[in-house]
Amino acid sequence: MKALPKTIAEELTKKASSMEISIEEYLFDLLFRELDPVTSAEKYITGAQQLLEQAEQELKAGNLRQAFEKIWGRVRSA
């Protein structure tokens, strides 16, 4: 995946922060908002599982803050 232009990354960060969610959660919400409810739920669950797997890897690597943010984001959005 290509890196986003700095201005777009900053705007994503600002929007997600104002909602007190991670950038990943913000993007999930944007992408899945217009899907039918069943497809949206399936994709959201898959995305949540992937974030939890990433959190597990962060824990194994000793990156507690990153792991916590991913786990907390999933809990809050459930």
Position 60 scores a pLDDT of 93
Does the predicted TM-score (pTM) go above 0.85? no
Exposed (0-12), middle (13-18) or buried (19+): which is 59, by Cβ within 10 Å? middle
Coil, strand or helix at 77: helix
For the stretch 11-45, pLDDT in tens is 999 999 998 888 888 887 888 788 888 887 888 78
Residues 6 or more apart from 25 whose CB is under 8 A from it? Answer: 16, 73, 77
Position 45 scores a pLDDT of 84
Q: Kindly state the percentage of the chain with pLDDT values over 90.
A: 22
